[in-house]
Homo-oligomer: A and B are copies of this chain.
């Protein structure tokens, strides 16, 4: 059902620009990986270059048409859902790696580049792009920038924001700016680069990014460590850092998380001891083989002192890949097992044991099961609340009260709502748990400075007044 305004849009856009109202495309662009949410845009635009994006926004700004950008639609907070309809702006065709600058350890990319592709391309010349969300095989760098994505290696190498040097951005009125410079340091005016990262497509559309790279660490050791007490596993996390070690990944998985992943992948080769309640997956890396063992040797006594079981070392690439495969499938496995809601809580990492206790206590109080796992080294715990046989009333009306109470506890701990998934659509109603009304109004004012007509991803991040 094509409306008049879409005809107008097609006329206004540069010739050859891909614009479609085909039902299969509308359907594809109606969801991401967030629960089972579905919002149909009215039209899908798939630009090939910055010029087309600029033309689109100029038109949309004049006509006050909502524009919701997306990459691979793997988001977990509904950031790419066109909740107010309008135009879905798919960036997936702008997927070129434009330049690998080996002299300066930088890469210039379009937003539609898949993260794993980027990693593999720069690894060919001995360079490393460290950010690796579980979805790295499908997610795009543009989506990572929008949500400030993390992943297992963030604990040593930082999140997306730490790798973005400069952005080309199309503003709401169709103007094009470069937010920064291709330099490692920059004290030149407001840091709009960092403001744009994590702004979920509400302030501007990223059409190009200059990313930092570093030399590729060539050696890793990986171990899976069982604990009879999940609390002890959490406690080991902070203790490892206090011992002066900097692991390149430090992941926590409740027993149920591994079991679900085993069911999902049909790979039961890992034998779980009956008494095991949780695992830590610990990776260390280095540029030289001889720098691996000293790190492992510093970690082992910490584990032992906290009652860990015998670590399982991944001896070769195949076993490493198998352990990582299991870890990366946990999210999908949970999703496949039940209707669920995922929270992306983050606290100062030494408070992780308290956070886990709180999750379970609130679960007991409200009668829900949860599966917890995540990037424990960052204090970032993914809390998956399973629908199980909860009633419609409990799921719809009581659960938000439980989640609010969890977030209140998180804020008291110095933590916040989302470590790496963003607020998007589904966490928006909890923003007042963290931020005062004055603070939210300031965010609204910033939004208005960038997007006075409110066309960019409306209905996201900031709750309405």
Measured CB to CB, the residues of A under 8 A from B are 101-106, 126, 147-150, 154-155, 159, 161-162, 171, 175, 177, 180-192, 194-195, 197-199, 203, 214-215, 238, 241-242, 244, 246, 287-288, 291, 294, 344, 346-351, 375, 378-380, 411, 414-423, 427, 431, 434-436, 438-439, 442-443, 445-450, 461-462
Contact = CB atoms under 8 A, between A and B. Distances in A.
Contacts of A215: 241, 244, 246
B185 A150 contact: yes
Top 3 A-B pairs ranked by shortest CB distance? A194-B194, A103-B350, A182-B414
Contacts of A294: 288
A189 B349 contact: no
11 contacts: A147-B187, A177-B439, A181-B434, A183-B346, A183-B378, A186-B416, A186-B418, A187-B198, A191-B197, A442-B449, A449-B449
Contacts of A344: 187
Contacts of A378: 183-185
Instruction: Count chain B CB atoms within 10 A of each CB in A102, A185, A241, A427 and give the residue with the most.
Output: A185
Contacts of A288: 294
Nearest to A447: B190
A244 B242 CA distance: 27
A238 B103 CA distance: 7
B442 A171 contact: yes
B346 A181 contact: yes
Contact of A415 (B126, B181, B445): B181
A307 to B, nearest CB: 19
A162 B84 CA distance: 36
Given A162-B162, A294-B288, A449-B449, A423 B103 contact: no
A418 B349 contact: no
A109 B376 CA distance: 26
A375 B439 CA distance: 37
Contact of A103 (B175, B188, B242, B246): B242
Contact of A189 (B162, B246, B379, B462): B462
Contacts of A439: 177
A195 B445 CA distance: 14
Contacts of A190: 195, 198-199, 203, 443, 446-447, 461
A419 B183 CA distance: 8
B194 A161 contact: yes
